[in-house]
Structure 1
Amino acid sequence: MAKSSHRRTDHAEDRDVFRCVHAVDAIYHQEGLLPEHASNHLVSCLGPYWTDKDIAKKVGVSIGFDESERERSKEYRMHAVARLGELVVSLPAHLDVVHTIHRIIREHYAHESILDNGLDAVRDRYRLNSSSGQLQAVYEHRRSHAYCAAFFGYSGAGKTTAVESALRLLPWVVRHPQYGVMQVVRIKIDCPRSASLKDTLKLLLETYDDLLDTHYVEELSSRATLADYANKVHRVARRHHTGVIVLDEIQNALNAAAGADPLFDFFVNLTNLVGVPIVVCGTPRAERLFRTTLRLARRVSSQGVTVWRGIHDATDWNRLCDELSKYQWLTNSKPLSAAERKYLWSLTQGLPGVAIPLYQLSQYAAIASGRERLSCRLFKSVFDEKMRSLKPILRAIRSGRKVDMMRYDDILGDTLKEVVADMKAEAQHNLFYDALSRHDRIEVSIDAVSSLIVAGIPREIAEKMVDLVQKEFPSATRAELCHEVSLRYYSTRESLLKTKDARKDKEAEVETIA
């Protein structure tokens, strides 16, 4: 009875798989591919080998902008500046990441078969051994483990953005209707804070369920053991021909490694038994993990270890600044000068994840203050006020001392998230008070016009003169507006507001001298 129920679950699961919203129907590309890739549907469905020029165009993410937007309202421009949070500038390092990940996936699939895992060929070679009397290898040669790679770097250096940009060029799931196969090309998870193996495996299964509209987690009982989860992940990864598993935030696993948690042994075994490539991403502290887990270090070294420490090449930094210069919503916009570019690098140590938010915050400040232009002084003022929590971290990076950098390694990413969140909140705060101030000015203007009409000044003239005076003296009260308009209309006495402003300027001058 239980077996029958299980079979119904499998059939229902198959129907769910074919309803997967993330899937695309396979299109097999053969032109220009290696023979072993062109004849393998798991590889040929990934498309052609893309050139560096093609990749550079698609890895970067541009944002909407039109020069006419610089003339729009404060509110409009404040919201437009928020677009900078989506900006990704393609750099040469991105190309290396794309090539590495795509090569790993294709080489992995080159040894896989979508048909029957090569069983027919195995049987043919076995029969040939018996009938011909000549020795034939029953099984083809294949690597003992899958390819792996690692990308380490400071939070904000761009490693996760680069990896996600590489993954964006590939589909999540490819449907092969004629073979009844749903191929999961890529799957990515952030290593849980607890970093226990069971939590990580459950998260992997949940991600498969989200992608495929399956119910793999539900199929395990609440009392499922670690072995149950491990076996389930092995079967699911094999069944769906998984191309690569990306583990981000791998530094969260340091405690697990110290506590002899079997997390890393499992993923080493995953590359051995299932042959699924693993890509790990983390902060520099994660290097400690590879000193304590030598087998995984050897696996990862098969495709190289890339360390991101921000942008240090002058050409790359100028490319980033050129892109940033395009996106200014200030009425006094101008490209970033050489001095501003150099100072921006000094403040952020070439970390795009710090430089772009600082550039964004500075535009908020320029719009809110009415300065409407960027400068080194504004960058420093905004950095000191809004990013002061990053100072000790960036000072440690600037020093180059590993001990100091490790001390702040865990908090840099969280601090950056807080800065961005505060930045968005402050933008809304500024918009609220700006709107409130404009509302108050409108109320004052209406009251002043009403009083002036009663005093005998024609409505049209009163409205124009109140508008003119209010632009010159935005904080003027109703009484001050009425007095100033009356003076100008009747031209009888000196302006009270100009006299008041002159008095303030003189008092400020005296204070400065003192």
Structure 2
Amino acid sequence: METSFTPSPDQASSDASPDVVIVDAIYSPRDEDLDVDNPLIRALPPYVSAESVLVAFRNGPDFSISHRRLSANSRVHRISSLRLYVEPLTCHPILIESIFRLITAGYAWRNPRDKTQILVRARYAESMNGSNGSNMVTIIPPRPAHEAGLALFGVSGVGKTTSLNRTLSFLPQVIRHAELSGSNLQVVWIKVDCPPDGSIKQLFHWMLLEYDRVLGTHYDKELGNTVRLDQLMNKVAAVAKYHHTGIIVIDEIQFAASGAARRGDPFMNFFVTFTNLVRVPLLIAGTPKALSLFEKSFRLARRSSDQGAIIFTNMAFDEEWEFFLKQLFKYQWIRKPRKFNKELSATLYELTQGIHALVVRLFQLAQIAAIRTGSERLSTTLLRTLARDRFGPVQPMMDALRSKKKRRIELYDDLLVEMLAGLDEEIRKQTESAKVMQAATQRQRNSVQLIAVSDLIAMGVPQSQALTAVIAALTEDDSLTGEDLVRAACEKAGITMESPHGADPEEQQSLPDIVRDAKSPEEALEMLRQAGWVVGDTKR
């Protein structure tokens, strides 16, 4: 199964993704490198403690109470930022610690400064010269039979992918070493999704494309269109070794289960072969459907979850749920925010069954609806109405979660995936609509502001003073237009503006008409006084 491998240049090309930053290695002594000066380990950020994880893991949107005074469209736009909301829960420290442990343990056996060859020669000579008497000499140092692995499972929406992405964000993706045998670029991690059709060949293509994305290389193009699966597998293994990969994360592994069922279960054989070949720790993540892969093959289960399987579940109706909801309730852009209370808590749990993504999406939709209808307030009635209208297709899944029966949950998990995608799309459309409406409103406001400033200048008010007065008036009441805005701005500027006494509104001249023939600001001001529009002294 050998295939040719030509290392690509170690300098990231212009084809590398702009969102990947290659950092230069900074070395720090680490207990994990067992005092053998392993640069791959010493260049990694350390795992400090579970407490530090709970502090750093949180990811909340930019929020201020002052935001509640913004326009409706501006607030709807800000509500969309809750999509990336992450609150640390009891399941997170063990995931982060496991990933850090997997990476450092894998590097312990792949030290680029390894002195095994010298040690083997010395022990061989010791064995052959009989200096050890009748005792046998171990010539080859011991090492694990295969690299360790980790499995992460949970129903859709409980935060598996979000938690993985957040955990990996604590590690640089690519580290450049000044001196290193082989490649001087260390790829600490790569993460790919399993193709929806469960194609193993496509999965390996995607792995190569991910290396190309982060390094600016062209490994995938080097193989051509007629490449065989075994050649692809060898290529990925060679690239992973050459670039000192710390861990390979494969998400949405349940798609492989579906593909395996259709094609006679080839996935497991290739998966085990690949783990033997690549010698890099693997982490696989998926929904409960992926568990069928493990039930069919004990060998695969052992290989992919040597460090254990972590199970993410929907939150129980307990102290952790209350903590999660209290933190979420801090992010209310509505003008009449609700405090956390038992009634809202019970209603939200009943409607979402503690599925993280459903809770956040329903919270977003409720705020958007409260803003659009003008109620500016959350209520159990609003939550139930939205859940009835939006969550109808996944009621079988909600019933399955209530039953806590594994097979029922597996059966309906796809419904939840589709609905979450639909909710994300709905919120995206609401946000885009708010952007368009906000832009249109701003254009209209700019026009109103410009006309008002022109009117004040025509009255003899200096331009800078006129602009300041109009902005101050609009800040106080952004609904002002026309004569009302000019009158309010005049008050801000210290000018009293009055309509001509007894004049018929239909016969009144506009301000520009009155001052059209003025030769100077002073003359314009005098014309406005004579017309009865201005009373008082404008000389400041």
- TM-score, normalised via structure 2 length: 0.76
Identify if the C-alpha distance between structure 1 residues 123 and 215 changes in structure 2 by more than 3 Å, giving closer, same or farther.
farther
Is 1:382 aligned to 2:395, yes or no? no
SS of 2:223's equivalent? coil
CA deviation profile, 1:143-192 (whole Å, cap 9, x unmatched)? 11111111111110111212222211111112112115222111111000
Counterpart residue identity of residue 78, structure 1: V
| DSSP 3-state at the match of 1:13 | coil
> Cα 1:119–1:370, aligned 2, differ >3 Å: closer, same or farther?
same
How many correspondences in the alignment? Answer: 450
Q: Residues of 1 paired with 2:154 and 2:169: CA distance?
A: 20
Query: Hey, what does 2:505 align to over in structure 1?
Result: 454
Residue of structure 2 in register with 1:70 after alignment = 68
Amino acid at match of 1:163: L
Q: Take 2:109 and 2:35, find their aligned partners in 1: how far apart are those partners?
A: 10
| Partner Cα distance (1:437, 1:65) in 2 | 23
The match for 2:124 is 126
* CA separation of 1:44 and 1:19: change in aligned 2, threshold 3 A: farther
**C-alpha distance in 2 between matches for 1:292 and 1:219:** 36
- Alignment partners' CA distance in 2, 1:436 and 1:390: 37
Cross-structure match for 2:189: 186
Equivalents in 1 of 2:58, 2:84: separation in Å?
A: 10
Please name the residue that 1:504 is paired with.
none
What is the aligned partner in structure 2 of residue 204 from structure 1?
207
**Partner Cα separation in structure 2 for residue 297 and residue 226 of structure 1:** 23
Aligned pairs (5 A) from 1:253-402: 253-258=256-261, 259-312=263-316, 314-402=318-406
Q: Does 1:236 align with 2:287?
A: no
Contact 2:33–2:108 (CA under 8 A) maintained in structure 1: no
- Name the residue aligned to 1:144: 145
Q: Deviations over 1:426-472 (max 9, x none)?
A: 354467679989979x999869999x963579999xxxxxxxxxxxx
For residue 371 of structure 1, report the CA deviation from its aligned partner. 0.9
Does structure 2 retain, via aligned residues, the 8 Å contact 1:37–1:44?
no
Question: In the alignment, residue 22 of structure 1 is paired with which amino acid?
Answer: V
| Cα pair 1:270 1:276 within 8 Å, conserved | no
Deviation for aligned residue 1:414: 2.2
C-alpha spacing 1:149/1:34, structure 2 compared with 1 (3 Å): closer
SS of residue in 2 equivalent to 1:214: coil
What are the equivalent positions in structure 2 for 1:75-114 lying under 5 Å apart? 75-114=73-112
The answer to whether the 8 Å contact 2:370/2:376 transfers is yes
Q: Tell me what 2:25 maps to.
A: 26
Deviation at 1:356, TM superposition (A): 0.3
Q: Which of 205, 213, 217 is equivalent to 1:214?
A: 217
Give the Cα–Cα distance (whole angstroms) in 2 for the partners of residues 329 and 256 of structure 1: 44
Q: Which residue of 2 aligns with 1:426?
A: 430
Answer with 268-277 or 346-355: which moved more: 268-277
Indicate how the Cα distance of structure 1 residues 366 and 38 shifts in structure 2: closer, same or farther if over 3 A, else same.
farther
Match of 1:470 in 2: none
> Structure 2: which amino acid aligns with 1:69?
H
CA distance in 2, matches of 1:431, 1:237: 43
Contact persistence 2:393–2:415 (CA under 8 A): no
Could you tell me which residue of structure 2 aligns to residue 169 of structure 1?
Answer: 170
- Given that 1:108 and 1:146 are in contact with CA atoms closer than 8 Å, whether structure 2 keeps it comes out as yes
Tell me how far apart the structure 1 counterparts of residues 113 and 440 of structure 2 sit (CA, whole Å): 67
Name the counterpart of 2:252: 249
Contact (CA 8 Å) 1:257, 1:292: kept in 2 or not?
A: no
> What SS is found at the alignment partner of 2:123?
helix
State the shift of 1:266 in Å.
2.4
2:58 aligns with one of 49, 57, 60? 60
Q: Does structure 1 retain, via aligned residues, the 8 Å contact 2:158–2:355?
A: yes
Contact kept, 8 Å, 1:22 with 1:212, in 2: the verdict is no
Distance, in Å, in 2 between the alignment partners of 1:287 and 1:149 is 13
1:342-386 deviations in whole A, cap 9, x for unaligned?
211111111111100100110001111111111211111121223
Structure 1: distance between partners of 2:433 and 2:14 = 47
Partner of 1:51: 49
Q: Which has the higher helix share?
A: 1
Stretches of structure 1 lacking an aligned partner (at least 5 in a row): 1-5, 461-514
Unpaired runs of 5+ in structure 2? 449-478, 486-498, 512-540
Task: Report the alpha carbon displacement of residue 339 of structure 1 after superposing the two structures with TM.
Answer: 1.4
**Contact 1:17/1:182 (8 A) holds in 2:** no
CA distance in structure 1 between the partners assigned to 2:86 and 2:107 by the alignment: 30
Shift of 1:324: 1.1
Two-structure CA RMSD over aligned residues (Å) = 3.2
Paired residue for 2:155?
154
The 1-side partners of 2:271 and 2:21 are apart by 26
3-state DSSP of counterpart to 1:353 = helix
Give the C-alpha shift of residue 389 in structure 1. Answer: 2.6
Displacement of 1:251 in angstroms is: 0.7
Matched AA of 1:318 = E
Task: Give the residue type in structure 1 aligned to 2:170.
Answer: L
- Does residue 407 of structure 1 match 2:411? yes
Whether contact under 8 Å (2:53, 2:93) holds in the other structure is: yes
CA shift, 1:404, in A, is 3.0
Amino acid at match of 2:125: R
| Counterpart-to-counterpart distance in 2, 1:240 and 1:50 | 26
Give the distance between the partners of 1:25 and 1:252, measured in 2 at CA: 37
Decide whether aligned partners of structure 1 residues 298 and 365 sit closer, same or farther in structure 2, where only a CA change above 3 A counts: same
SS in 1 for 2:329: helix
1:209–1:216: 8 Å Cα contact kept in structure 2? yes
Alpha-carbon distance in 2 for matches of 1:431, 1:42: 46
Whole-Å Cα distance in 2 between the matches of residues 348 and 458 of structure 1? 62
Instruction: Name the stretch that deviates more: 271-280 or 369-378.
Output: 271-280
Aligned partners of 2:33 and 2:41 also within 8 Å: no
Q: Aligned in 2, Cα 1:453/1:379: closer, same or farther, shift over 3 Å? A: farther
For 1:410 and 1:246, locate their aligned partners in 2 and report how far apart those are by CA, in whole Å. Answer: 22
CA displacement at 1:390 relative to structure 2: 2.8
Once the 2 structures are TM-superposed, how far is the Cα of residue 241 of structure 1 from its aligned partner? 1.8
One-letter code aligned to 1:136: V
Q: Contact conserved, 1:24 with 1:175, CA < 8 A, in 2?
A: yes
